[in-house]
């Protein structure tokens, strides 16, 4: 099926909804869902719900607010503390977080008169270790991209054809994904990671992760084509990250990839 056909299928799927609340992060996937829902049923029948937690990248919240303004869709920010049990970063962290998050979003949606909550999980997410998807299914949250068989490449193609600026936005995830499983989460560690990635983003490294390991070791992942550049700039990068309290700074030779902390899971 071509991306154009997939886009039409997505709009048809959403057109049957009376109203909808979109779990909106401001990334490529949820932006496509929000735009499609707006086009399918009208902006007055759609609301964007953006969760704000201590372990989210603050810039992402700002991006989400700006995108809702651009699309002309009402947005509600939903504050949520760290759910119980997540502070130890267990392997089922994503399940616990998503369960607590979407219970909160379902309540918020109902308060605003919306019975259906949509999220932006795409077909490629079903190929990775994503325990959070189980929480969505248990709660009856719908993932239209999965329902329509739309993966990340098609998301970007469709978003580009619609003129959405997020079509080439790097995938993002909460800051907990930068920590090894079963390592205690602290606000100091989350702040170190966020500031380190902001520094690298500011130097033009768009696809980047800073994974924080024991003994304040930072494992930096950048796009493969930028590895040599990072080595050339190593002195400046090391000085900046050490200034944040990261004792050791290393370059991951494999490069940027999603879910690298999942690679040791059985």
Say if residue 56's pLDDT is above 60: yes
Say if residue 61's pLDDT is above 70: yes
Averaged over 23-35, what is the pLDDT? Answer: 97
CB 212 within 8 A of CB 192: yes
Cα 99 from Cα 83, distance rounded (Å) = 9
* pLDDT range class, residue 253, cuts 50, 70, 90: very high
Cα 152 from Cα 191, distance rounded (Å) = 29
Residue boundaries of the structural domains of the chain: 3-168, 175-262
How distant is the alpha carbon of residue 124 from its chain centre?
14
Residue whose structure tokens are 């979407």: 102
Say if residue 127's pLDDT is above 80: no
Say if residue 157's pLDDT is above 80: yes
Residue whose structure tokens are 């200034």: 243
* pLDDT range class, residue 20, cuts 50, 70, 90: very high
Taking each helix axis from N to C end, the angle separating 187-202 and 234-243, rounded to the nearest 10 degrees, works out to: 150
Averaged over 155-180, what is the pLDDT? Answer: 93
Say if residue 129's pLDDT is above 80: no
Q: Which of 93, 120, 112 is nearest to 44 (CA)?
A: 112
Cα 189 from Cα 175, distance rounded (Å) = 9
* pLDDT range class, residue 171, cuts 50, 70, 90: confident
Q: Which of 79, 72, 66, 26 is nearest to 47 (CA)?
A: 72
Cα 142 from Cα 185, distance rounded (Å) = 30
The residues, any chain, with a CB within 8 Å of residue 94's CB and separated by 6 or more, are 130, 131, 132
Q: How far is CA 49 from each of CA 83, 109, 116, rounded to the nearest angstrom?
A: 18, 8, 12
Structure-token pair, residue 5: 């056909």
The verdict on pTM exceeding 0.95 is: no
Query: Which of 141-150, 226-235, 250-259 comes out lowest in average pLDDT?
Result: 250-259
* pLDDT range class, residue 264, cuts 50, 70, 90: low
Query: Which of 90-94, 99-103, 242-246 comes out lowest in average pLDDT?
Result: 90-94
Say if residue 89's pLDDT is above 80: yes
* pLDDT range class, residue 1, cuts 50, 70, 90: confident
* pLDDT range class, residue 126, cuts 50, 70, 90: confident
Cα 35 from Cα 44, distance rounded (Å) = 13
* Predicted pLDDT at 224: 94
Rounded (10°) CA dihedral 80, 26, 125, 259: -70
Averaged over 215-244, what is the pLDDT? Answer: 96
CATH of the domain spanning 3-168: 3.40.50.620
Cα 266 from Cα 264, distance rounded (Å) = 7
CB 25 within 8 A of CB 11: no
CB 82 within 8 A of CB 53: yes
Cα 50 from Cα 145, distance rounded (Å) = 19
Q: How far is CA 74 from each of CA 45, 68, 108, 233, rounded to the nearest angstrom?
A: 9, 7, 13, 43
What mean pLDDT value characterizes the chain? 93
Degrees to nearest 5, angle at CA 180 with 101 and 209: 80
């Amino acid at each position: 099926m071509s991306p154009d056909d997939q886009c039409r299928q997505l709009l048809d799927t959403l057109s049957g909804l009376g109203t909808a609340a979109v779990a909106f992060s401001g990334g490529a996937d949820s932006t496509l869902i929000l735009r499609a829902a707006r086009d399918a049923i009208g902006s007055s029948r759609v609301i964007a719900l953006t969760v704000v937690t201590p372990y989210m990248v603050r810039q992402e919240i700002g991006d989400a607010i700006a995108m809702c303004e651009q699309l002309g869709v009402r947005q509600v920010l939903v504050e949520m503390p760290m759910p119980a049990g997540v502070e130890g970063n267990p392997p089922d962290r994503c399940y616990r977080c998503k369960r607590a998050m979407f219970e909160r979003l379902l309540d918020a949606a109902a308060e605003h008169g919306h019975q259906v909550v949509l999220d932006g999980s795409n077909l490629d997410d079903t190929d990775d270790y994503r325990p959070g998807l189980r929480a969505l299914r248990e709660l009856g949250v719908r993932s239209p991209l999965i329902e329509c068989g739309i993966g990340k490449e098609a998301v970007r193609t469709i978003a580009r054809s619609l003129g959405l600026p997020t079509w080439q936005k790097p995938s993002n995830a909460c800051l907990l994904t930068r920590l090894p499983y079963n390592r205690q989460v602290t606000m100091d560690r989350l702040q170190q990671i966020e500031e380190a990635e902001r520094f690298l983003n500011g130097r033009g490294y768009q696809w980047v992760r800073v994974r924080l390991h024991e003994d304040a070791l930072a494992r930096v992942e950048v796009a493969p084509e930028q590895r040599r550049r990072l080595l050339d700039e190593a002195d400046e990068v090391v000085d900046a990250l050490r200034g944040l309290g990261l004792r050791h700074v290393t370059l991951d030779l494999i490069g940027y990839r999603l879910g690298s902390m999942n690679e040791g899971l059985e």
